[in-house]
Amino acid sequence: MLAAFVVALLFLLLAGGIPVGFALSIAGVVGLFAHGGVPLLAGILSTTSLSTVSSYELISIPMFILMAEFVILSGIADSLFKSAAIWVGRVPGGLAIATALSGAGFGAISGSSTAAAATLSATSIPAMLRQGYEPRLACGVVAISGTLAMLIPPSIALIIFGIVADVSIGKLLIGGIVPGVLVTFTIVLTVLYLVWRNPAHAPRGPGYTFAQKLASLKGVWAMIVLLGFVTGVIYAGIATPTEASAMGAAGALGIAALLGRLGPKQLHTAALNALRSSCMIFMILLGAHIFGYFFALTGVTPRLVAGVSALDVPPWAVITVIIAILVVLGCFLDQIAILVLTVPVMLPVVMALGYDPIWFGVVMIVAGEVGMVTPPVGLNAFVVARYANRPLSEVFIGAWPHVLAHFVLIAVLVAIPQLVLWLPSRMQ
């Protein structure tokens, strides 16, 4: 009864627009106070408030965000779309495919899907519209391509999953590579199908010589080397994700300095942005920990696990229901909020069914991608509509074919878990 009241309070606070981290903290504090009074509450606050943010492993979050800020500062992100457009602009739907590829590239830089969607909106939508692309197709592909940032390493969402679920962050990041490539291919194939059905929706662009194509890589090679290095050292076991994140940030700082884009003002702005974004995430983690203590004390999770385990249904049916819940939550809540709210409850159920936590983390993120472009509040759709100054309905309708394609891909990932688990199993 108390647990139901506190969960209802949490959703009331969230619906009222109270920041996610604050809402979790308030609901957790109320629950702990009601459960054990002041001594229990004081004991948990005095340990959780410091232990949550003093974890060494947590530094990968501010460091990867800082790396993204420095890469954006260096102007490399802008060159990504131009280069991709030169390479594939001639094929049917070439600019839309270039958007998907640069979305994957930007995802590798930023780890933030909304930042990726905003940047892609500013560069690729005007280019597609100028070339005569159907606006819905253009907006839809940008919205869905932005979500790749949640999956392709370094993904902040996967790092948060690793922290909340206490799972190897390195394996999670490497586990996101193959599904990230598959999602990119899914977007490309969906674009090709849409263009095959109606070629007038995506006129072909001009062709370029091989020399021009090679020259276009000049603006992005440094980023490719940096990202290859960061992912490579994690995969090879040379450095932990924590160490790789700091080396990536330092490398991106060096690139920005070499390209002459780094002055004191730019350094301050990049660091301040990274500080605020990290603080926002830490606040959510702190709230989740306080709320998590309350949930653990009430014993809701073990009862749920026991209840689901006793059900006479096949495991895939339970997974299907869980994915459906994640997609629906993704339509209303931010991905980080979904992770901290659902992982402590869902992961024990999934593991009791015999599934791997690394696999579940990646599938969870892919399901969350769908929510990001689905009405009523798919965050990426809002970002694209706002930055590209297009009607929101146009973005939602344009993203719909991609949503269907994503459902097919999720089914494939559920049917063949090795697609996620093979690469992490080869790590040093």
Tell me the HSE value of 281 on the side-chain side, using a 13 A CA sphere. 26
Q: Would you call 311 exposed, middle or buried from its count of C-beta atoms within 10 A (0-12, 13-18, 19+)? A: exposed
Among positions 10, 21, 348, 364, the unique one binding other proteins when judged by CB under 8 A: 21
x-or-dash string of contact with other proteins, 93-132, rule CB under 8 A: ---------------------x------------------
Q: Residue 138 Cβ, how far from other proteins at the closest point, in Å?
A: 22
DSSP letter, residue 340: H
- Exposure b/e, 242-281, CB count within 10 A at least 16 = b: bebbbbbbebbbebbbeeeebeeebbeebeebbeebbeeb
x-or-dash string of contact with other proteins, 195-234, rule CB under 8 A: ----------------------------------------
CA 61/CA 49 separation, integer angstroms: 18
> Is residue 75 helix, strand or coil?
coil
Q: Residue 67 Cβ, how far from other proteins at the closest point, in Å?
A: 9
Which one, 244 or 366, has the nearer CB to other proteins? 244
x-or-dash string of contact with other proteins, 156-195, rule CB under 8 A: ----------------------------------------
Among positions 34, 59, 325, 397, the unique one binding other proteins when judged by CB under 8 A: 59
Q: Compute the CA torsion angle 236, 240, 242, 246 (nearest 10 deg).
A: -50
Evaluated on CA atoms 187, 193, 198, 200, the torsion sign reads positive
Q: How far is CA 409 from CA 180, 190, 226, 400, 404, in A?
A: 11, 12, 29, 14, 9
Among positions 6, 58, 157, 318, the unique one binding other proteins when judged by CB under 8 A: 58
How many chain residues interact with other proteins (CB under 8 A)?
62
Which phi and psi (to 5°) does residue 50 adopt?
Answer: -95, -40
Among positions 85, 239, 256, 319, the unique one binding other proteins when judged by CB under 8 A: 239
Which one, 12 or 324, has the nearer CB to other proteins? 12
Q: Residue 58 Cβ, how far from other proteins at the closest point, in Å?
A: 6
Residue 20 near residue 28, CB atoms below 8 Å: no
Which one, 4 or 279, has the nearer CB to other proteins? 279
Instruction: List residues near other proteins by CB under 8 A.
Output: 13-23, 25-26, 29, 41-42, 45-46, 49-50, 53-56, 58-59, 62-63, 66, 114, 239, 242-243, 246-247, 249-250, 253, 268, 271-272, 274-280, 282-284, 286, 332-334, 336-337, 376-377, 379, 382, 386
